[in-house]
Amino acid sequence: MFKGNLIAATLLGTLLMTGSAFSADKKVIAVSIPAADHGWTAGVVYHAQAAAKEINAAFPGVEVIVKTSPSATAQVSAIEDLSAGRKLDALVILPHSSEELTTPVKAVKDAGAFVTVVDRGLSDPSIQDLYVAGDNIAVGATTAKFLVDKLGGKGNLVVLRGIPTVIDDERIKGFQDVIAKSDMKILDIQYANWNSDEAFKLMQDYLAKYPHIDAVWANDDDMLLGVLEAVKVSGRKEIKFALGGNGMKEIVKKVIDGDAVTPIETPYPPSMIKTAIYLTAAQFVGQAPVRGTVKLDAPLITQANAREYYFPDSPF
């Protein structure tokens, strides 16, 4: 397992030392990512733009182009536009959705580009040369183990899913596999699209439908904010834990402060996009071909170590 920021810093130093040996041919790296529609993607945009600025300034022979898209359909169009007027040497993509982006990314790959996929994955993983992501199974499993331990293996749970993607599937699998070994029951599990407002509405539905809920897993911190607001408005007192995931600074601060309902967190840093861009640039600048999978750790964040994960000035 690797630390994303450490990889990026190490690669920058390596690339700077090897820059003088770089070919004069301009290499184009396109970066296609979702627009900042919630906190985590705001972090992704921030770190992608930072990586592009740093690499473009350090290496005149490299052009990193960052394009954000508000939807899967828009992202398909963006990729077509990026590749229409120029030869792409590489594409770094964080897909809006796995299924819709697989075919257009394959077309870029077939045209000769190096493909780095970040976070959500494609329906056909054989397309990618490099995959950078957090350990989503661990995000789900670590959270479930905490709940099983603290609730004595018994209780009623409700779960909020994100959007239909590989990473959502992995998080749910990690969570359900652990819960299945206990006497705990998942009362309901529905999509809230990693959106705070949708999560608020879904949690209201859960609260109306189920008279007793012991714990909630929101799968993502943006959704957790909506869940916490819905529980607060309802006045329900029996819910012992409401947990999320991703390492949002507002949630990490709750852990630091010893919040009884949200006492733990699991990290999934948006800075992984920066790691991915640097690793991709290394193919052309550092003479360091990288293939395969880079997975970031997902340790349990508790009050004891939470300050290591708290960055109040970051966008997420």
SS3 68: strand
Quick: pLDDT tens for 182-223: 999 999 999 999 999 999 999 999 999 999 999 999 999 999
Over 80: is that where the pLDDT of 10 sits? no
127 and 291 in contact (C-beta within 8 Å)?
A: no
Question: Are both 129 and 140 inside the same structural domain?
Answer: no
308 assigned to some structural domain: no
Question: Are both 129 and 203 inside the same structural domain?
Answer: no
Over 80: is that where the pLDDT of 85 sits? no
> What's the structural domain count of the chain?
2
Over 60: is that where the pLDDT of 62 sits? yes
Over 80: is that where the pLDDT of 259 sits? yes
Over 70: is that where the pLDDT of 290 sits? yes
93 and 118 in contact (C-beta within 8 Å)?
A: yes
100 and 69 in contact (C-beta within 8 Å)?
A: no
Over 90: is that where the pLDDT of 90 sits? yes
Q: Which residues pair with 215 in a beta bridge?
A: 157, 241
Question: Are both 12 and 129 inside the same structural domain?
Answer: yes
**The predicted structure's pLDDT at residue 13:** 53
Q: Where is the domain boundary, 208, 230, 256?
A: 256
93 assigned to some structural domain: yes
Q: Residue 29 is part of a domain; what is its CATH number?
A: 3.40.50.2300
Report which secondary-structure segment, H or E, holds 81. Answer: helix 72-84
| Domain that residue 65 falls in | 4-133+269-295
316 and 248 in contact (C-beta within 8 Å)?
A: yes
Question: Are both 156 and 85 inside the same structural domain?
Answer: no
Percent pLDDT > 90 in the chain is: 74
Question: Are both 126 and 149 inside the same structural domain?
Answer: no
Using pLDDT thresholds of 50, 70 and 90, give the confidence band for residue 249.
very high
Using pLDDT thresholds of 50, 70 and 90, give the confidence band for residue 39.
confident
**The predicted structure's pLDDT at residue 296:** 87
Question: Are both 224 and 235 inside the same structural domain?
Answer: yes
Using pLDDT thresholds of 50, 70 and 90, give the confidence band for residue 297.
confident
314 assigned to some structural domain: no
In the chain, the amino acid numbered 3 is: K
Question: Are both 15 and 69 inside the same structural domain?
Answer: yes
Question: Are both 126 and 140 inside the same structural domain?
Answer: no
Write the CB contacts of 166 (distance below 8 Å, at least 6 apart in sequence): 98, 120, 121, 122, 123
Quick: pLDDT tens for 120-176: 889 999 999 999 998 999 999 999 999 999 999 999 999 999 988 888 999 999 999
- What does the alpha-carbon distance between residue 44 and residue 87 come to, in Å, rounded to a whole number? 25
Residue whose tokens read 């397992």: 1
98 assigned to some structural domain: yes
What are the Cα distances from residue 51, in Å, to 225, 247, 274?
29, 21, 6
Beta carbons within 10 angstroms of residue 261's beta carbon:
16
306 assigned to some structural domain: no
**The predicted structure's pLDDT at residue 17:** 47
Which comes out higher in pLDDT, residue 20 or 314? 314
Question: Are both 98 and 245 inside the same structural domain?
Answer: no
286 and 18 in contact (C-beta within 8 Å)?
A: yes
| Residue 124, both tokens | 């056909």
108 and 115 in contact (C-beta within 8 Å)?
A: yes
